[in-house]
A and B are shown apart, each in its own frame.
Chain A
């Protein structure tokens, strides 16, 4: 499943992703919060493979199609059931329509293109996990090298 993934060890908490997302969609669909003065954490739609938002939608505006979720704004009546059905609270209502991250409709997502620290990536989960692990190992080996010298 192609999605937006976050490497929390890289996020600076600069909120550039929020600005970029807001510029494209009017209102940002990604939000960054700082936890206990230490960890900055961006959060956006998880693109669930069994999406509760789509299960409860009365007008089939949110539809599960294969592994992804498709949104038909003209069918949305703004009832707000999807935002109450999201386990992570990541659907919003804006101007009478449901709003959630659709990774800029499969084009290169604006938040990923903007992120200055490379904390956000768009692609397959396995590729992202592999890259994050490689970086973690390189970081650890650099630290060990430093101790040896």
Chain B
């Protein structure tokens, strides 16, 4: 049995650990808030989650854990169009830092980042349709 530690300041609330855990032991619940629930001990002899974490927020060790579970909560920023929460603040910050400012679709700069993928597809279809529809 090894203990799992999560650095709250480093975690950006992405899906890497949850998606990579072969046992499905890390759970994510999305509502207005993203809840990530980690087990504080893990019987598996692997370090896949530790390696998968892009922020190196997870560490495995032998110290005794304080709680049976670790829960991290992230506010999900709502999509400008459908208002459903879809991205955590640290993830958005990371994207804004990596994507050059001039990569804009219209005159609103990187505002497209604030739309959820589903609404982005709908908007792209609207843009394409504008060339065919006379309205």
Contacts and interface: CB of A to CB of B under 8 A. Distances in A.
A55 B98 contact: yes
Given A43-B124, A87-B120, A96 B91 contact: no
Given A89-B120, A90-B121, A96-B19, 5 more contacts: A8-B132, A43-B125, A55-B99, A56-B98, A87-B105
B24 to A, nearest CB: 10
Given A38-B133, A83-B117, A93 B15 contact: yes
Given A35-B126, A56-B95, A79 B54 contact: yes
A93 B86 CA distance: 14
Nearest to B49: A77
At the interface, is chain B mostly helix, strand, loop or mixed? helix
A88 interface: yes
A59 B52 CA distance: 9
Contacts of B94: 56, 81
A89 B19 contact: no
Contacts, number: 102
B112 interface: yes
Interface residues of B, number: 38
B4 interface: no
Contacts of A47: none
Nearest to B52: A77
B36 interface: no
Contact of A78 (B20, B98, B112, B133): B20
A91 B124 CA distance: 14
B95 to A, nearest CB: 5
B116 A89 contact: yes
A9 to B, nearest CB: 7
Nearest to A52: B99
